Structure formats: structure tokens, C-alpha cells
Structure 1
Amino acid sequence: MSNEITPGVLDGTDEAILVLLEQDGRLTHREIAAQVGLSRSAAATRVQRLLAEGHIDVRGVVHPAVLGHDVLAHVSVTVNGSATHVAHAAAAREDTTLVSMTSGHHALVLELRAKDIVRIDDALAEVRAIEGIVTTETLLYTEVIRDVAAPVGPAPAAGSLDETDYALLRALQANGRASYVDLAASVGLSPAGTRRRVVRLLDGNVVRVGAVVRHSGRERRTATGIGLRLDGAAHRPIAEQLARLPSVIFVARTLGRYDALLTVNTATSGDLVDVLDHIRELDGVREAETWSHLRFIKETYASLRLGQSSGPRAVPG
């Protein structure tokens, strides 16, 4: 692979590094270099460039249950007038973790996270009151199977988080690639003690550190949303099968007009056609509807705010 890079342009090596950092944002430059065929210094230069030019953020995302966000909803929105105005109004809400302008019948999609279904209902009423919104259609996530940006699966169990754990979580949210030396200085522990804590938080499914790819509408990779209607009752095995596809970055089982919702990242339209054909050919997939994410207005995900503590929370000891 070539070591030469052009500012603002991502090549195949950059794409390979993006995939690695999506999977594990704390990979060392040496580990990245070994997997993409570069020297350590060349890999470090590429990673720093991806960060500096804003192609990615690498940060820790805390399990929603640790934040008290037990209910997640996907909302498709039709508008009358400027979709940009509506998108920014929705993005200003604290309970929206994702707002995207999309192609197709719906001008926007957004994600709401809240403590319970009552608060989701209240939030939806407030969203519908935003000037310019005509209709909303809501999907409730019954189970998130795959999410490259956040922990999935059961909430952390056994033991509890203390204030040092919360301080580490906030530091990882700010910079997922912060060194153990820097993390240690921020929480008052030794680097070795800090490393043990971080590993425990990662292994305990409390936090996931990965690259969040920034979608401005100008990059080569395209994000596509897919809503699936499935046959039969065995929806989870189908969702798990979909989650194993390399281009799939998000899969959830849902209640509503779709049985499953997924997002795929592809480099070309040809790649997207191949992925869609493969999905439609899977046993149990009855119908697939697609929309393109044209521009992400908000991709913050839920986070612990400075000074916030949820009290004792379950985490492995």
C-alpha cells in the first residue's frame, strides 16, 4: 500500500484504518501498521490526519443503561418547508442523539433516548410541535444487535461504578485515544491502575471506544438506512446474520412498520447494490425499503456530562 496521502482525500489505506478504528478505537499505531502494511510512523501520520481533518472522532460511548436511557426510538419525519430548519430544531434537543437529513418520502430521521416509554411519548409530542413537521412515524428498538458506535447487549452487571470510573468515562468520551498516562493524570491514579480500570470498563460492556465516522455529504463512503419486513417469528437469527455483514454498522430489532432496522456503509453505488441484493436474498427477508443519509446534523450519542453521576451502577468488580 502507498504511504503517500493527499489532504482531504481518503484512499483505500485510509478506509482500512477507518474500519480498524471503528472496531477498536484504542488500537496502537503499531497494531494498525501491522494490519494495513505500513510503518508505525506512516500509520501514526495517517491516524493523526484522519483526526485533524475531522473525518473521524474516536471516543468512548457509554452503555445507554448506565445513563438511565432504557428506551430508544427511531423517528422518521416529513416536513413542509425547509428540512434544514427542522433538523437543527430537533438537534437542539438534549434527548436526540442522532439527526439526519435523508432522501425519499421522509426528509429526516432522528433517534430519541429516554428513561422510559412515558418520556419517549412526551418527547414525541414536543418533536411534533416543531414548526414545519407534518408527520412522524416511530419505531421502538426492542433489541440492538450491532452498533459500531456504542456498547450493545445486556446492561453491565455485578459491582458498581465509583467516581473514579465516572471520571474515566468522561475522559474517554472526550478523547477515546487518550494515553493511559494522560488518563491517569486526569483521575489521580497510576498509569497501571488506570489501565486496569479502563480494561475492566471495556470488558464489562460499560463503554465502547471506537471511531465515529463523520458524514458531511462530501465523503466517499455513503450511509444507507434499510427497513426490513421479515417472515415468520425467528427475527433475531436473521438480525444476527445481518449483523455479521462487514458493511453493516447498525442492526436493531424494532416494533412498528419494520421488523428490523439497519444502516450500511458502502464506498460505491455498486457496493451498495451488492449488499442490498445479498440482504434481499436471505431467507426470511420479505421486503426492504431504503433511504440515503444525505447529511448528519447531529451524531453526539448519549453522554455523561461533567460532574454527572448516576449513583451506584452495575459493573464487573
Structure 2
Amino acid sequence: MEVLRTPDDRFADLPEFPFSPNYHDIDDAVLGTLRLHYLDEGPKGGKVILCLHGEPSWCFLYRKMIPIFVAAGYRVIAPDLIGFGRSDKPTQLEHFSYQRHIDWLVSLIETLELAGITLIAQDWGGLLGLRIATEHPQRFAQISLANTGLPTGDQPMQAAFLAWRKYALSVAKFDAGAICGGYLTKDPTQYLSEQIIQAYRAPFPDQRFTAAARAFPSLVPITVDDPATQANRKAWQALMVWNKPMLMCFSDNDPITAGGDKAFINRVPGCRHQPHTTLKGSHFVQEYDGENWAKTVLAWLDNCAS
């Protein structure tokens, strides 16, 4: 079973990214030892903010938000999911499952002994983070979500998502830079600079490295007999009695998750009386309005503490 590691020189001189790498080794029963990369910024004794990305991005997505959190005295942990960023990349689709991604992240959280966590999550960061938070509630204090969800397969998925699922599996050249830059538009540079687009391409020197990104859409439960359905239903049961503060910061122009914040606002007690905010931009809202999300979270955390 082949596991690839992106050469370090692919990450040299990235724009707006002065952070040092950290690594955690995971003992996987099937794949052996996997190296997971994460950022660890700010004071080690500071309150923890855990930033979880989705696909096909990596912790580079949070580069505008991390300095704002650190300046406010927080410790920021921002991992690269296995298969993304500087983390190791198994090459076969069947190497990935919803549960394995959760197990890999929990290994990091437990090893770093993280507690009192404020979870910041977007895209698959929410699908994973919400499962982890509801299964390990003693480690989490607050949650802020953007452009994500927790599907169970009980409701039909949007046509836009089903098209994305098909695209990820079938496209000959999976181009993470173009996807993050323009969300499948013909000219991604109208949104991001070429340097930033190249930074999103950096983890994937060739198509052998893209298995995780291709697999992720197919791991979303879209039928009631999906392997993740029961666990996600259980997570929703926990969320429906979740009283810890939860803040929605969805964006105003995401074709995949538009309106998804209402599922949480209407069902999760911790969402009541919170200053939910609509951010600007498309799916990768950290690029379009990340600074505003970070500042909104800090003001909210100050209010939660008072």
C-alpha cells in the first residue's frame, strides 16, 4: 500500500504563510505510520482554537485568520487532514473513510491534550469536527461553523453537490488550485492571485497525490444505508441538547451550503441568542472574508467569557 509524502520544497516561500511545520505520527493498523502536519501558533498556555479545513484545501486556508487569533492571545492548532497539505497521502480511494479521518484527528487532539477547544470549521472541517465534538464533548467549549453541515442521508442532497461528487471521481486532472481559486470557474485568477492558486496546488505534485480529495465527496452520507449515517444521526441527537455556544458564520454566495446554517440555528440550543453573522464570498470563505470571521469570533468569545 503506497503512501506518498509531498516534497518539502513544494512548500518553500509560500505567500502570506510564515508558519513553521509540526508533525504528529499516527499508527494506522492498515497503512502503518502516517505523518500528520499541523500548525501550532501562539502561546502554549493560551486557550485553544482548532481550525479544521475541508477539501481540497489545507491549513494554508486559515493563514489570514491565525495571526488575528494569536494576537489576541490564543493558541491556534491548524492540522492538515491526512491526504492534504503537508500530511501523508495514501494513494487509493479505499484508504479513506469518514471514520478513519475522525480517528486520525482524534489521535492528534489526544496527543496534544487539547481541552477547552473553540472549534473553527468549514466544509469537511465541520463534518469531522462536529462528530469529534459530540463524541468528546469534554474537550470542546465553543463552536463556530461556516459553509458546512452534518448530513445523515435522510434528506436529498442538492444537485450542485451531486455534480461535484461525480466531478471529483471522474475528472482526468483534479486541480486543487483552480477549485479553491474559482470553485470550478473557467478563470480562477479572477478570485485569487496566481501565487495563492499555486499554493493550493503545492500539496499535489501529480495526480497520484489526489486520492483523498477525490474520495471525500463520496464519503458524505447521501443514503440511509451509508456507513456514516448512524454515527451522524447520533451526533445530531447530541447537538439537539448541545448548550455550549455555537456561532454560524456562513457566507452569502456558496452554491453548496447556502441555507445550511438554519439547520443548526433551528435545532441546536447552543445557537440561541448568538450573534450569527453572514460573511462575504463563496465556499472558501476564509479567502474572501477570513479576517472578518476571525474578528467576529474574537468578539463572540469575549462575550462568552463575560
TM-score (structure 2 length as normaliser): 0.23
Which one has the bigger helix percentage? Answer: 2
Ranked by relative contact order (alpha carbons within 8 Å, sequence separation 6 or more), the top structure is: 1
Higher strand share: 1
